């Protein structure tokens, strides 16, 4: 009787394969990720000297990559961009919205999100087998942030016809301290989450 009770189909299915590993679960996770990034986009502080606002989006994108992994993270951020293109209010409210925002001054940052999520998740998961979890996540997220700012600054330079120094001042330097904090938060959260899962 004891073994029959302990081996009920619900507990067996849950232990063998979690819901998030099914196709419906992955779809829900991807859509939930777009909502998280959209919410982070609305935590936005415009700066008087640059068209690039301070937002929580980079932290959310890193979290998506770390949580979903490179493939699902990439798909989630493509879905996010598609939502913005059709006019859903998922981008920062400091911009024009829709395709105008994607092609505007911050478009390079936005268009890099799929790659940023893929890089943060992929590199972190690769390094997980070789380094402590916090270190692997910190390296993965730092590389992803470097990619984010490379794409964002290049696009800003192109759209506004700015020189290297002006682009550095307007699109990179003011954000680096905040990005360092975001990387630490993302890496710390990832490390704690994975450690809790390992205990279970």
Q: Domain coordinates of the chain in residue numbers?
A: 2-199
Which is higher by pLDDT, 13 or 23?
Answer: 23
Does residue 40 carry a pLDDT above 90?
yes
Query: How many Cα atoms sit within 13 Å of 33 on the Cβ side?
Result: 31
CATH topology of domain 2-199: Arp2/3 complex 21 kDa subunit ARPC3 (1.10.1760)
DSSP code of 171?
A: H
Q: What is the pLDDT of residue 10?
A: 33
**Contact by Cβ (8 Å): 56, 43:** yes
User: How far does Cα 200 stand from its chain's mean position?
Assistant: 26
- pLDDT tier, 133 (very low <50, low <70, confident <90, very high otherwise): very high
Share of the chain above pLDDT 70, in %: 88
Q: How far apart are CA 60 and CA 55, in angstroms?
A: 10
Q: How far apart are CA 80 and CA 76, in angstroms?
A: 6
Q: How far apart are CA 99 and CA 197, in angstroms?
A: 40
In tens, the pLDDT along 91-103 reads 999 888 899 999 9
**Average pLDDT, whole number, for the chain?**
89
In tens, the pLDDT along 42-93 reads 999 999 999 999 999 999 999 999 999 999 999 999 999 999 999 999 999 9
Q: How far apart are CA 189 and CA 83, in angstroms?
A: 27
Q: What is the pLDDT of residue 9?
A: 36
Is this structure's pTM higher than 0.85? yes
Q: How many residues does the chain have?
A: 200
**Contact by Cβ (8 Å): 89, 79:** no
Q: What is the pLDDT of residue 198?
A: 63
């Amino acid at each position: 009787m004891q073994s029959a009770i302990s081996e009920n189909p619900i507990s067996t299915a849950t232990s063998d394969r979690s819901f998030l590993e099914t196709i419906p679960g992955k779809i829900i996770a991807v859509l939930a990720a777009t909502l998280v990034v959209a919410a982070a986009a609305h935590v936005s502080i415009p700066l008087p000297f640059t068209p690039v606002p301070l937002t929580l989006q980079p932290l959310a994108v890193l979290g998506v990559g770390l949580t979903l992994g490179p493939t699902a993270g990439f798909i989630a951020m493509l879905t996010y961009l598609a939502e913005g293109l059709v006019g859903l209010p998922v981008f920062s409210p400091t911009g024009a919205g829709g395709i105008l925002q994607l092609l505007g001054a911050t478009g390079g940052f936005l268009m890099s999100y799929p790659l940023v999520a893929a890089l943060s998740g992929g590199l972190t998961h690769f390094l997980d087998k070789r380094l402590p979890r916090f270190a692997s996540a910190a390296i993965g997220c730092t590389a992803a942030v470097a990619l984010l700012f490379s794409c964002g600054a290049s696009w800003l330079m192109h759209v506004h016809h700015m020189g290297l120094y002006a682009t550095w001042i307007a699109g990179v330097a003011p954000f680096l301290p905040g990005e360092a904090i975001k990387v630490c938060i993302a890496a710390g959260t990832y490390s704690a989450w994975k450690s809790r899962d390992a205990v279970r």
